[in-house]
Amino acid sequence: MTFVRPVFRHPESPKNALGYTKKFYEGALSTLCAGCGHDSVSGAIIQACFEMAVEPHKVAKLSGIGCSSKTPTYFLANSHGFNSVHGRMPSVATGAYLANRDLMYIGVSGDGDSASIGMGQFVHAIRRNLNITYIIMNNGCYGLTKGQDSATADFGSINKSGAANLYQAIDMVGLALELGATFVARSFSGDKDQLIPLIKAGMSHPGFALIDVVSPCVTFNNNVGSTKSYDYTREHIEATAAVDFVPIMEEITTEYAEGDTVAVQLHDGSTIHLNKLAPDFNPRDRHSAVSKLYQAKASGEILTGLIYIEPETRDLHSLLNTTSLPLNTLEKEVLCPGQQVLDNINASLR
Amino acid sequence: MLNDFVIRFANVNGTGSASANDMFAKAIFRMGIPVSPKNIFPSNIQGLPTWYEVRVSEKGYLGRREGIDIMVSVNPQSMPKDIANVKSGGYFIYDSTKELYKDFIRDDIHYLGIPMMQMCMDKFADPRQRQLLKNMIYVGALSALLDIEIEVLQGIIQQKFKGKEKLVTANYEAMEMGRQYAQEHFTCPFPEHRVARRDLVNDWIMMDGNSACGLGAVYAGATVLSWYPITPSTSLADAFGKYAKKYRIDPETGQNNFAIVQAEDELAAIGMVIGANWNGARSFTATSGPGVSLMSEFLGLAYFAEIPTVLVDVQRGGPSTGMPTRTQQSDLLIAAYASHGDTKQVLLFPSTPAECFSMMGEAFDLAERLQTPVLVMTDLDLGMNENMSPPLKWDQSKPYDRGKVFNAEQLEQMTERFGRYLDVDGDGIPYRTIPGTHPTKGSFFTRGTSRDEYAVYTEEGPAYVRNMDRLVKKWETAKQYVPGPELYQREKQSAFGMLFFGTTTYAANEARDLLTEQGITLDCMRVKAFPFSQEVQQFIDNHQRVFIVEQNRDAQFKSLIVNELAINPAKLTSILNYDGFPITADVIRQKIYEQLVGKLKPPFAEHEPGEPSESEVSE
Ligand SMILES: Cc1ncc(C[n+]2csc(CCOP(=O)(O)OP(=O)(O)O)c2C)c(N)n1
Ligand code: SF4
Ligand SMILES: [Mg+2]
Q: Pick B223's closest partner by Cβ from A335, A342, A345.
A: A335
Q: Is residue A122 in a domain?
A: yes
Q: Is residue A3 in a domain?
A: no
Can you give the residue ranges of every domain in chain B?
A: 4-185, 206-389, 408-481, 486-618
**B470-476 mean pLDDT:** 98
**Protein residue whose Cα sits closest to atom 5 of ligand 1:** A86
Contact across the interface for A342 and B219, Cβ inside 8 Å: yes
Q: How close, in Å, is residue A157 to chain B by CA atoms?
A: 32
Residue range A255-300, pLDDT digits in tens: 555 556 677 888 888 888 776 556 678 889 999 999 989 988 998 9
How far apart are the CA of B164 and the centre of ligand 2, in A?
A: 69
Q: Pick A99's closest partner by Cβ from B203, B276, B456.
A: B276
Helices (H), B162-206: 165-185
**Which A residues 145-164 touch B at CB under 8 Å?**
none
Q: Is residue A15 in a domain?
A: no
Q: Please give the biggest Cα pair distance in chain B.
A: 90
Q: How close, in Å, is residue A170 to chain B by CA atoms?
A: 21
Q: Is residue A33 in a domain?
A: yes
Give the number of C-alpha atoms closer than 13 A to the C-alpha of residue A103, restricted to the C-beta side: 33
pLDDT over threshold 60, residue B11 = yes
pLDDT-based confidence at B139, cuts 50/70/90? Answer: very high
Decide: B586 and B65 in contact? Cβ < 8 Å. Answer: yes
Residue A105, classed as helix, strand or coil, is strand
- Nearest-angstrom CA–CA distance, B237 and B218: 11
Q: Is residue A335 in a domain?
A: no
- Nearest-angstrom CA–CA distance, B575 and A9: 73
Q: What is the CA angle B403-B409-B412, rounded to 5?
A: 115
Same fold, B206-389 and B486-618: yes
How far apart are the CA of A68 and the centre of ligand 1, in A?
A: 9
- Nearest-angstrom CA–CA distance, A47 and A43: 6
Cis link prior to A247 (omega < 30° from 0)?
no
How far apart are the CA of A42 and the centre of ligand 3, in A?
A: 15
Contact across the interface for B268 and A88, Cβ inside 8 Å: yes
**Which carries the bigger pLDDT value, residue B182 or residue A277?**
B182
**Which carries the bigger pLDDT value, residue A251 or residue B521?**
B521
Q: What is the pLDDT of residue B410?
A: 98
The CATH number that domain B486-618 falls under is: 3.40.50.920
Per-residue pLDDT 10s for chain A (350 aa) are: 445 565 566 667 899 999 999 999 999 999 999 999 999 999 999 999 999 999 999 999 999 999 999 999 999 999 999 999 999 999 999 999 999 999 999 999 999 999 999 999 999 999 999 999 999 999 999 999 999 999 999 999 999 999 999 999 999 999 999 999 999 999 999 999 999 999 999 999 999 999 999 999 999 999 999 999 999 999 998 887 778 887 765 554 555 555 566 778 888 888 887 765 566 788 899 999 999 899 889 989 999 999 999 999 999 999 999 999 999 999 999 999 999 999 999 999 99
Q: What is the best residue among A31, A32, A148 to mutate for testing ligand 2's pocket, by most ligand atoms within 8 Å of CB?
A: A32
A126 lines ligand 2 (CB under 6 A): no
Nearest Cα to Cα of residue B240 among B179, B282, B289: B282
pLDDT-based confidence at B14, cuts 50/70/90? Answer: confident
Q: Is residue A140 in a domain?
A: yes
Number of H-type helices and E-type strands within chain A: 12, 13
Q: What spatial distance separates the first Cα and last Cα of chain A, rounded to whole Å?
A: 69
Decide: B239 and B213 in contact? Cβ < 8 Å. Answer: yes
Contact across the interface for A78 and B443, Cβ inside 8 Å: yes
CATH topology of domain B206-389: Rossmann fold (3.40.50)
Q: For B4-185, give the CATH class.
A: alpha beta
Mean pLDDT, chain B, integer: 95
Strands (E), A34-110: 59-63, 80-83, 104-110
Neighbouring CB atoms inside 10 A of B352's CB total 25
Decide: A32 and A1 in contact? Cβ < 8 Å. Answer: yes
- Nearest-angstrom CA–CA distance, B339 and B305: 13
Site from A30, A98, A129 to mutate, B interface, most B CB atoms within 10 angstroms = A98
pLDDT over threshold 60, residue B602 = no
Q: What is the best residue among A220, A226, A230 to mutate for testing ligand 2's pocket, by most ligand atoms within 8 Å of CB?
A: A220
Give the number of C-alpha atoms closer than 13 A to the C-alpha of residue B417, restricted to the C-beta side: 8
- Nearest-angstrom CA–CA distance, B119 and A72: 73
Residue B165, classed as helix, strand or coil, is helix
Q: Looking at beta carbons, which pairs linking B41-44 to residues 24 or more positions away fall under 8 Å?
A: B41/B13, B41/B325, B42/B13, B42/B325, B42/B611, B42/B612, B42/B615, B43/B231, B43/B324, B43/B325, B43/B615, B43/B617, B43/B618, B43/B619, B44/B13, B44/B615, B44/B616, B44/B617, B44/B618
Give the residue numbers spanning the domain of A85: 22-329
Strand partners, B122: none
Q: What is the pLDDT of residue A268?
A: 84
Nearest Cα to Cα of residue B204 among B387, B18, B63: B387
Q: What is the pLDDT of residue B180?
A: 98
Residue range B235-254, pLDDT digits in tens: 999 999 999 999 999 999 99
Q: What is the pLDDT of residue A267?
A: 81
pLDDT over threshold 90, residue B613 = no
Cβ of A248 under 8 Å from any chain B Cβ? no
Decide: B287 and B311 in contact? Cβ < 8 Å. Answer: yes
pLDDT-based confidence at B617, cuts 50/70/90? Answer: very low
Q: What is the pLDDT of residue B497?
A: 98
Residue range B476-496, pLDDT digits in tens: 999 999 999 999 999 999 999
- Nearest-angstrom CA–CA distance, A179 and A106: 20
Minimal-distance CA residue of chain A relative to B437:
A57
Q: Which chain A positions have a beta carbon within 8 Å of B338's beta carbon?
A: none
Helices (H), B484-584: 504-517, 534-541, 556-564
> Structurally, how many domains does chain A consist of?
1
pLDDT-based confidence at B230, cuts 50/70/90? Answer: very high
In CATH, what number is assigned to the domain containing residue A214? Answer: 3.40.50.970
Q: How close, in Å, is residue A293 to chain B by CA atoms?
A: 28
How far apart are the CA of A106 and the centre of ligand 3, in A?
A: 18
Q: What is the CA angle A115-A116-A121, rounded to 5?
A: 70
Q: What is the pLDDT of residue A31?
A: 96
A160 lines ligand 2 (CB under 6 A): no
Neighbouring CB atoms inside 10 A of B161's CB total 16
**Which carries the bigger pLDDT value, residue B604 or residue B107?**
B107
Q: How close, in Å, is residue B346 to chain A by CA atoms?
A: 21
Q: Which chain B positions have a beta carbon within 8 Å of A118's beta carbon?
A: none
Q: What is the pLDDT of residue B616?
A: 35
Q: Is residue A50 in a domain?
A: yes
From the CA of A116, the nearest ligand is: 1
**Which carries the bigger pLDDT value, residue B597 or residue A239?**
B597
**B386-403 mean pLDDT:** 97
Residue B447, classed as helix, strand or coil, is strand
**B21-30 mean pLDDT:** 97
Q: What is the pLDDT of residue A281?
A: 81
A311 Cβ contact list (under 8 Å, min separation 6): A205, A264, A265, A266, A267, A284
Q: Is residue A308 in a domain?
A: yes
